[in-house]
């Protein structure tokens, strides 16, 4: 009887686990390099994204697009796709979340400008470039920008080389990045570490967010 009971509970737990969001699995990987744009008065005017998609998604995204040269896509040929991309991203708040002096800055951005797609024929990957201007330029001691997909269908990760650049920022501003401690780099994730992570994360509202922090004392 007892073992039946345990069996039942385990079964139910599996059912239950299967419906939870944390089980989401990405089908798209994005490697990003980010720029924060500064106005001469030292305020931040916007965020410039450069998101490189993985090769499988890039092949999927470019399917059916006409090309003059096989294996290559000119920027103009990709223009309609870039438009579709930024328009679709609006529904997801561009996966970009800003915090000013520790406070969440909701609905912070205008529609994207200067957007285009690049295709790298060697790596066969697409890179989406777009700028998100702040509705009102932000002047603060601490600005944080996070990039993540809350549903985790897209796995965002910083580029290994120069992931963040401050464009014409005041000299005293310092940028740092914070990577999620799991998810993005599964190659380094071992089972024992996974358990550690799970304990460390308990109650901390941990996420797979990639955080850019800039402080201008």
Partner 1 sequence: MTRRAAVVAGIVVFVLAAGAVTSAFAQVGPLGGLRAPAATGVVGWILAEQALFYRALSGLIRAAKTDGSAYWGLMGISFVYGIFHAAGPGHGKAVISSYLLANEETWRRGIALSFASALLQALTAVVIVAVAAVLIGATAKMMGDTVRVIEIVSYALIVLLGARLLWVKGRGFLHALYAVRSGSKPAATAGAEHHAHPAHDAHAYRDHHDHAYKEHTHHGHAHDHHNYDDEEESALPWGHAHGPELEELAGPGGWHRGLSAIVAVGLRPCSGAIIVLVFALAQGLFLAGIASTFVMGLGTAITVAAIATLAVAAKAAAKRFATTRAGHGSLVLRGVEVGAALLVMAFGVLLLTGTMASERMGMF
DSSP string, 138-179: E--SEEEEEE--TT-SEEEEE-SS--EEEES--TT-EEEEE-
Output 37 or 108, the one with its CB closest to partner 1.
108
User: Cα–Cα distance between 22 and 164 in angstroms, integer?
Assistant: 28
> Binder to partner 1 among 74, 92, 101, 178 (CB under 8 A)?
92
Binding residue count for partner 1, defined by CB under 8 A: 74
Output 117 or 216, the one with its CB closest to partner 1.
117
Per-position x/- string for 106-145, each x denoting binding to partner 1 as judged by CB under 8 A, each - no binding? x---------------------------------------
User: Cα–Cα distance between 142 and 174 in angstroms, integer?
Assistant: 10
Say which DSSP state 199 is in.
Answer: H
> Binder to partner 1 among 98, 115, 182, 216 (CB under 8 A)?
182
Q: How far is the CB of 169 from partner 1 (least distance, A)?
A: 28
Cβ contact 38:44 at 8 Å = yes
> Binder to partner 1 among 39, 50, 57, 120 (CB under 8 A)?
57
Examine residue 76 and tell whether it contacts partner 1 (CB under 8 A): no
38 CB burial (10 A radius; 0-12, 13-18, 19+): buried
Angle (CA) 147 42 180, round 5°: 20
Sole window of 21-29, 109-117, 131-139, 156-164 interacting with partner 1 (rule: CB under 8 A): 21-29
Output 120 or 139, the one with its CB closest to partner 1.
120
Q: How far is the CB of 179 from partner 1 (least distance, A)?
A: 12
Output 10 or 79, the one with its CB closest to partner 1.
10
> Binder to partner 1 among 70, 88, 161, 172 (CB under 8 A)?
88
User: Cα–Cα distance between 97 and 49 in angstroms, integer?
Assistant: 13
User: Cα–Cα distance between 29 and 18 in angstroms, integer?
Assistant: 23
Examine residue 161 and tell whether it contacts partner 1 (CB under 8 A): no
């Amino acid at each position: 009887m007892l073992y039946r009971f345990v069996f039942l509970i385990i079964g139910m737990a599996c059912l239950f686990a299967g419906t939870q969001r944390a089980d989401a699995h990405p089908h798209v990987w994005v490697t990003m390099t980010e720029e924060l744009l500064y106005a001469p008065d030292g305020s931040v005017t916007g965020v410039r994204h450069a998101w490189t998609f993985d090769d499988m998604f890039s092949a999927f995204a470019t399917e059916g697009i006409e090309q003059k040269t096989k294996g290559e896509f000119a920027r103009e040929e990709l223009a309609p796709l870039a438009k579709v991309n930024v328009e679709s991203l609006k529904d997801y708040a561009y996966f970009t979340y800003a915090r000013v002096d520790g406070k969440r800055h909701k609905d912070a951005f205008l529609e994207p400008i200067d957007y285009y797609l690049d295709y790298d024929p060697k790596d066969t990957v697409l890179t989406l470039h777009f700028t998100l201007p702040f509705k009102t330029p932000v002047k603060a001691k601490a600005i944080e920008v996070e990039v993540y997909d809350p549903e985790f269908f897209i796995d965002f990760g910083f580029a290994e080389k120069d992931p963040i650049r401050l464009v014409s920022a005041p000299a005293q501003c310092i940028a740092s990045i914070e990577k999620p401690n799991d998810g993005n780099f599964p190659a380094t994730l071992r089972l024992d570490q996974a358990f550690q992570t799970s304990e460390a994360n308990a109650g901390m509202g941990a996420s797979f967010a990639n955080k850019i922090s800039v402080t201008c004392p």
